[in-house]
Structure 1
Amino acid sequence: MSSAGAAATVEAIAAKESSQNASPPYQVTKGINGLDKVSLRGARGNSVEIYLYGGQVTSWKNEHGEELLFVSNKAVFKPPKAIRGGIPLCFPQFANNGPLEGHGFARNRFWIIDPSPPPFATPSTNKTYVDLLLKPTEVDLKIWPHSFEFRLRVTLGPSGDLLLTSRVRNTSADGKPFSFTFAYHTYFSVSDISEIRIEGLETLDYLDNLQNKQRFTEQGDAITFESEIDRVYLTTPTKIAILDHEKKRTFVIRKDGLPDAGKMVVYRSVVWNPWDKKAKAMADFGDSEYRHMVCVESAAVEKAITLKPGEEWKGRQELSVVPSSYCSGQLDPQRVLKGRV
C-alpha cells in the first residue's frame, strides 16, 4: 500500500469512529517525513508511539518521560528503508534465512488501523491500545505467494507495561499451507553496554552466528558484553531480565507462543550488539551508538511455523521496567525473575 493510500485509510477509519461518537484510545498524527504515527498515553504519563510504516513501535517512555527503546539518530524514516530501532517486526522471514530480503517485508510495508479487529485478550480495565493490520500487496504475492492477515495489537498497560500481541492467519483459498519465521526485534536503550547484564539465559545452549552457527553452552552466570555478540539461545524461559547498573533499572521480557492447531511454538531469544566495527559499517547507525543499545529478541526462528488454510498463530511479548535493587554491590536479578521486586 502506498503512503497516500495508507493515509486515506487512516482518515476513513477516523471518520467512521467520529460518526459513531466513539473516542479512540489513541491519536494519529504526522511523524518524521510526514509518516503517520499512532500515539498511546497512559494515566501515569507513560507513552508509546507506533509508525504505521512497518507497524513499528518507535518510542516507549516511562512516567518520567525517559525513553526506554533505542532508535538510532541516523535512522531513515523513508520507505523503502526499514527504521533502525524500536521494535521492528521480522516476518515472514528472520535474518537472511530464506529467499526474501533480510528480516522479511513486514517492517517496510504500510500497515492500517484494523477496521474490524477480532476479540483480543486485553484486560477490561485497560483500553489504551491500537489494532493494526497487514495484508499482502501484489508485490508481496509475487515474492512470497501466500495469502495472509497479520494482526497486531499494541497495548500500554496501567502501570506502563508494553504488550505486543500478534496474530497471523492463513487466508489462502488454494488449500495450501505456508511456513514462516518471526521475531520481535526489540532494541532496548541502556546506559552503557559494558554496564549491563542479561539474566535468565545462563546454562542454555546457543547458536553463535559469528562462528557459522556452531552450538555452544552459556558458561557465565549472566551475559555481559566486551565485544560483538550475535547469538540465538535455544529453548529459552518465558521471562528474561536486562539489568542496567548505571540507571538502576531492569527490563523484564515475558514472551509466549500460544498453542494453535495442536502445536506449541517454541520461542528462541536472540541477543545482539554490533560493537564498534559493524556499527561504523552501517549507514543508518551512529559509530558509537552500539554502547547505548542491546537487542534481546523474542523469536521463532530455528523451526518455521506452518499454518494450514484457516489456521492462526498467536504470539505475545510483554515488556516492563522495575527498579533494580542492590545485593552485596550487585544488582539482584533473582528477585526480578521471581517477581519479588
Structure 2
Amino acid sequence: MASDPNEAVTGALRLRVSDGVEIQATAFGAHAVSWRCQGRERLYLSPRASFGAGKAIRGGIPVIFPQFGGRGSGPRHGFARTRLWESIPAPPTGPGLAFGLREDDETRLHWPHRFEAELALQPGGDRLRIALTVRNVDNAAFEFTVALHTYLRVADIAGTLIHGLEDRPYLDSADGGRRVEATDAPVRFEGEVDRIYMEARKPLRVTDGDQLLRLESTGFADIVVWNPGAVLASSLDDLGGDQYRRFVCVEAGNVVSPVRLEPRTAWTGVQTLVVETRAGI
C-alpha cells in the first residue's frame, strides 16, 4: 500500500473521469475508499485500515445496513460493510461504479429476509453521488436502519465546522443517547462528538480552512456526525495516534425511525457531496 493509503488500494476498482476526478472502490463492502475531485483527495482512509474479510474498513464510505449501531439483534452496523458484493453495470445516467448484494445463508442468520441491494457511485466534475437502493423480494414487509458512514478528509478537526444543523435537536450517543435541544451554532469538535440529528433534511456545509464541501441527501431523514477525539481514537487499533484530527464523519441515514418496505417495493437513499468555493457559503 502507498504511503498515502488513498493513493492505491489492492483490489480496488478505479474509475477516472478526468485528470482531476477519480474514484476507487472495493467489492468488499461496496466500499468507496478514495474520491479525488479537482485534483484533491476528499475522503479519509486510515493508514492502519484492514482489508481482511470479516472486518470493516476504517475510512472511506462504509455502507451501514440493515442495522445502525446496536439498534437490532445482528452485527453492529449490519453485515453489508463486511460482505463481498458483486460488481454490476453502473446506472445509464453517467460514468460510475456499482455493486449488488442479495441475501444468502449467512445474512439470513442475522436478518431473516429476502432482499436485493445496489450501491452506485457516480463522480462528476465537482461532486460525488452515492445512491443506495434496497428492494424487498420477500413475501412479508421488513424494516431496517441504514446510513452512508462517510469519512471526509480535513486538514485539522480543530478548525472544522459543520453548518446547517443549528436548528436541529440531536441525540448525544457519547452521553448515553441524551437528547440535546438545538444550539443555534455550527458544530465544532472539542473531544469526542457522536450525534444523531433527527429530521435534518436541508443541505449541510463542512468548512475546513479554505475548503468547503456541501452535502445534500434525499431519502434519508437523519444526519450522524462523528469524530472519536483523542481518547477514543487511541484505543482503536485501526486508527490510533493523532489520526482523529484528519477526518470528520458526516453520514446521511435513517437511524431513529426505520425504513419499512412492503413486499415487491424498493427504497432509495442518495447522498451527494459537492465541492464549493468559499464564496458559496
Q: TM-score range by the shorter chain?
A: over 0.9
In the alignment, which residue of structure 1 is the partner of 2:116? Answer: 149
Contact 1:73/1:286 (CA < 8 Å) preserved in 2? no
Superposed CA deviations along residues 267-314 of structure 1, whole A, max 9, x for unmatched, are 101011100111011111122100111001101000011111101001
Measure the CA separation in 2 of the matches of 1:102 and 1:67. Answer: 29
More helix by share: 1
CA contact (8 A) 2:229 2:244 kept: yes
Q: How does 1:1-341 map to 2 (within 5 A)?
A: 31-32=9-10, 36-64=11-39, 66-114=40-88, 120=91, 122=93, 127-157=94-124, 159-172=125-138, 175-245=139-209, 248-257=210-219, 266-325=220-279, 335-336=280-281
1:42 alignment partner, SS class:
strand
Structure 2 residue matching 1:93: 3-state secondary structure: coil
Whether contact under 8 Å (1:41, 1:128) holds in the other structure is no
For structure 1, list consecutive stretches of 5 or more residues without a partner in the other structure.
1-29, 258-265, 326-334, 337-341
Contact 1:170 / 1:308 at 8 angstroms: preserved in 2? yes
Task: Provide, for residues 157-186 of structure 1, a one-character-per-residue CA deviation record: whole Å limited to 9, x for no partner.
Answer: 2x13110111100111xx211110000000
Q: Which amino acid aligns with 2:247?
A: M
Pairwise CA RMSD: 1.6
**1:238–1:256 CA contact under 8 A, matched in 2:** no
TM-score by length of 1: 0.77
Instruction: Name which one, 1 or 2, has greater alpha-carbon Rg.
Output: 1
Gaps of 5+ in 2: 1-7
In 2, Cα distance between equivalents of 1:45 and 1:142 = 43
Q: Could you give the per-residue CA deviations for residues 38-94 of structure 1, whole angstroms, max 9, x where no partner exists?
A: 111112431000100000000001232x21111111110111111000000000001
The list of structure 1 runs, each at least 4 consecutive aligned residues, that deviate by more than 6 angstroms after superposition, is none
Closer/same/farther in 2, CA of residues 31 and 72 from structure 1, 3 Å limit: closer
Q: CA deviation at 1:121?
A: 7.5
3-state secondary structure, aligned to 2:135: strand
* Percent pairwise identity: 34
Q: TM-score under structure 2 normalisation?
A: 0.93
Task: Quote the Cα distance in structure 2 between the aligned partners of 1:227 and 1:51.
Answer: 31
Q: Is the 8 A contact 2:65 2:80 kept in 1?
A: yes
Aligned length: 274
Determine if contact 2:37/2:127 at 8 Å carries over to the other structure: no
The 3-state SS of whatever aligns with 1:72 is coil
Confirm or deny: 8 A CA contact 2:252 2:271 kept in the other structure.
yes
- Give the strand-richer structure, 1 or 2: 2
The answer to whether the 8 Å contact 2:115/2:136 transfers is yes
Structure 2: which amino acid aligns with 1:40? L
Look up the SS of the partner of 2:107 in the other structure: helix
Stretch moving more, 194-203 or 219-228? 219-228
